[in-house]
Amino acid sequence: MPQWLRAAAKNGADGANRTVQSPSLVHQQLCRWLLLSLDRLSANRLTMTQELIANMFGVRREGVTEAAGKLHKVGVIEYSRGQITVLDRRKLEKLCCECYAVVRRESDRLLPNPAPRRILLRRTESCTPSTR
């Protein structure tokens, strides 16, 4: 199966699972989203405002603030001005609903090498603006 087709199927599974879990509590949605993001990154820090997360989840920013506050209080994350750092991934996995395991299993099946790949661009004449 081509890589693009596996990625499309995986994204479909993510969306279907999100639809099924829409009544989930915001803090469980936040836990799942953090874990899925960490699966794709090589660091434990994300740059994302609570406002943007709220828009993704379709909830009010205050709901995300409350959920992040709960995670901060139990020592799972630190957050400040759009920077979220995961301090304890294992505890985060325990706080997350079972839907993360389902999505993760499907991701591993469809994309067997989920290691993040970073593309580095060097500044060359072809990618700098023209000076005409």
Whole-prediction pTM value?
A: 0.63
- Cβ count near 88 (within 10 Å): 15
Residue with more model confidence, 53 or 42: 53
Contact present, 114 and 107 (Cβ < 8 Å): yes
Contact present, 107 and 12 (Cβ < 8 Å): no
Number of Cα atoms under 13 Å in the Cβ half of residue 125? 2
Q: Quote the pLDDT of residue 127.
A: 41
pLDDT band at 130 (very low <50, low <70, confident <90, very high): very low
Domain 3-127 is in which class? mainly alpha
Exposed/middle/buried for residue 94 (C-beta within 10 Å: 0-12, 13-18, 19+): exposed
Q: Quote the pLDDT of residue 84.
A: 95
Q: Quote the pLDDT of residue 7.
A: 59
Q: Quote the pLDDT of residue 123.
A: 43
In percent, the amount of the chain with pLDDT more than 70 equals 66
The string of pLDDT tens digits covering residues 112-124 is 665 554 443 344 4
DSSP classification of residue 43: S
Which helix (H) or strand (E) covers residue 62, if one does? helix 61-73
The string of pLDDT tens digits covering residues 61-88 is 999 999 999 999 999 999 998 999 999 9
- Domain positions in the chain are 3-127
